[in-house]
Amino acid sequence: MSKFFLEKYSTLDAYVPGEQPQDRKYLKLNTNESPYPPSLKVLDAAFKEASRLNLYSDPESKALTDALASSFGVGPENVLVTNGSDEALNFAFMAFCDSIVFPAVTYGFYPVIANLNGIPYREIPVTSDFRINVDDYIGIGDNIVIANPNAPTGICLSVSDIERIVAGNSGNIVIIDEAYVDFGAESVVPLTKKYDNLIVTQTFSKSRSLAGARLGFATASEELINDMKTIKDSINPYNVNRMTMAAGMAALADSEYYIANCREIEETRVYTVYALEDLGFEILPSKANFVFAKNPKISGGDLYRKLKDAGVLVRYFDKPGLTDFVRITIGTRSQMDTLIEKISEVLS
């Protein structure tokens, strides 16, 4: 830390993303990326747009906002396009939250953005089987953020459960982070038309194979979106670059390709769960493109290290209550066969 770093940031515990080591070629099952490349139409659209990179991007992201609005059945005034959904989350925290609650087991970025913005937060325990108890959130008198499906568990809440939380906190903001919603859960975007305190964020990073392009968005009432735009325009008006916007539009237009990939990943998830169960793993019920798994024969940390030595990266969380587990991204069928083979070797 330099002597110039402001005191208010001195205790900041920055988010540590899943590692992206460059020392050798790994089978990467640690950051929930899609194993499938962007579609050819997306590559073509991004390439064509590259010739206009001398010009700033549209600060309103109008074409993409319109396309998102029509594909999600909301108005363009209900959509804000962002640089990954992390940015949408940050804007929502900054705009609306002077304090916030979230589940004790969830996406590690929430406490980081809260700390960055000086927002006090409270963690609500999950049940012994890692579920969110909806009743804990009704009338809680605070802003709420919940990932649905949750990370790193993959467990999801139903639309009616989320509606109870939103309706039960009408004086506060409820943010539902749907980063993994396309792998078998149901979106609550339609509820944004009914509730003026609901913000839903989604990303192109997982189901749409664009993690490296950094594209996300928020949907909410026009008033909430306008407030978030004020934050965006005060930080980075050109928050989404031209190639990403073009890629995002083409990805939306090519939804069959992405829907087919999601179904494939769901099938591979079932296949992986059976194979891991055969090896003695216990796995939480996941509706995401990852599974959270533990094996009584080996700690999460040991399994993570041994798999890394064997060329396979999975995610390990060195946090109380999570150390038995590893989180494994669902890749292609053949990638999962490699994983199973390496795990069998480690266990024997």
- Which residues make up the interface to ligand PMP (CB under 6 A)? 84-86, 107, 147, 151, 177, 179, 203, 205, 211, 216
The least distance separating ligand PMP from the CB of residue 86, rounded to whole angstroms, comes to: 4
Burial (0-12, 13-18, 19+ Cβ within 10 Å), 257:
middle
Question: Which one, of 18, 29, 36, lies nearest residue 207 by Cα?
Answer: 36
For ligand PMP, give the closer residue by CB, 57 or 209: 209
The least distance separating ligand PMP from the CB of residue 208, rounded to whole angstroms, comes to: 10
Q: Is 297 helix (H, G, I), strand (E, B) or coil?
A: coil
The least distance separating ligand PMP from the CB of residue 171, rounded to whole angstroms, comes to: 25
CA 287 to chain centroid = 13
For ligand PMP, give the closer residue by CB, 83 or 295: 83
What's the rounded Cα separation, in Å, for the pair 285 and 80? Answer: 32
The least distance separating ligand PMP from the CB of residue 214, rounded to whole angstroms, comes to: 7
For ligand PMP, give the closer residue by CB, 92 or 298: 92
* 341 φ/ψ angles, rounded to the nearest 5 degrees: -60, -45
Half-sphere exposure of 16 (CA within 13 A, CB side): 7
Q: What is the dihedral of CA 93, 97, 103, 104, to 10 degrees?
A: 90
For ligand PMP, give the closer residue by CB, 205 or 295: 205
For ligand PMP, give the closer residue by CB, 84 or 331: 84
For ligand PMP, give the closer residue by CB, 33 or 227: 33
The least distance separating ligand PMP from the CB of residue 205, rounded to whole angstroms, comes to: 3
The least distance separating ligand PMP from the CB of residue 180, rounded to whole angstroms, comes to: 7
Position closest to ligand PMP via CB: 84
What's the rounded Cα separation, in Å, for the pair 97 and 85? Answer: 17
Question: Which one, of 190, 178, 177, lies nearest residue 145 by Cα?
Answer: 177
* 169 φ/ψ angles, rounded to the nearest 5 degrees: -145, 50
The least distance separating ligand PMP from the CB of residue 177, rounded to whole angstroms, comes to: 5
Q: Which helix (H) or strand (E) holds 159?
A: helix 159-167
For ligand PMP, give the closer residue by CB, 149 or 300: 149
Look at phi and psi of residue 280 and say left if phi exceeds 0, alpha if psi is from -120 to 50, else beta: left
